[in-house]
Amino acid sequence: MSNYIMDLRKIVGHRPLLQVGASVIIENAQQQILLQLRTDNHCWSYPGGSVELDEEVEEAAKRELLEETGLIAHELELFGIFSGKDTHYIYPNGDEVSNIDIVYLCRNYSGTIQCQEEEVMELRFFSIEDIPENLSAPVKKAILQWIDAKKAMQ
């Protein structure tokens, strides 16, 4: 599969790009969220990444989840679509994006948790009371919405 965003970067450099992301919030039986400590900004995030040309968004979410965590999603439920100023981001290397993040919730998964060394320093489950403060800016809105949903169910 090609790497559409990286191919565009060769042409436009660091200029802002509209980027469509597919992400997964993994929730375990204890209603904890799986977060990954990113290697690029040293902040916590959920698994996800760019949708490639002609790739179905749900398949991109499953692919990114497997690549970054070693987990296989058996069922995905649309959690939300996040965009706007809250998801605009400048990566540590200077690449700028305006994200449209399509986020799925997954409770039915299998596999052994394993970090993708190039992108992920650590993978850990967190309860809503223990969510780290240093969340990656583009995912903060979605994680806070997940926390609010969990609190509303209590």
The H or E element containing residue 69 is: helix 57-69
Q: What percent of the chain is modeled with pLDDT above 70?
A: 99
pLDDT tens across 78-123, in order?
Answer: 999 999 999 999 999 999 999 999 999 999 999 999 999 999 999 9
Q: What is the pLDDT of residue 2?
A: 56
Q: What is the CATH number of domain 4-153?
A: 3.90.79.10
Whether residue 1 has pLDDT greater than 70? no
The rounded distance, in Å, linking the Cα atoms of 80 and 111 is 25
Q: What residue ranges do the domains of the chain occupy?
A: 4-153
Q: 146 by DSSP, 3-state: which?
A: helix
Nearest Cα to Cα of residue 23 among 86, 95, 127, 100: 100
146 compared with 154, residue with greater pLDDT: 146
150, 127 contact by CB (below 8 A): no
What pairs with residue 106 in β-bridges? 26
- For the entire predicted model, the pTM comes to 0.94
Pairing assessment for the beta strands 48-50 and 33-38 based on DSSP bridges:
unpaired
Q: What is the pLDDT of residue 154?
A: 78
What pairs with residue 27 in β-bridges? 33
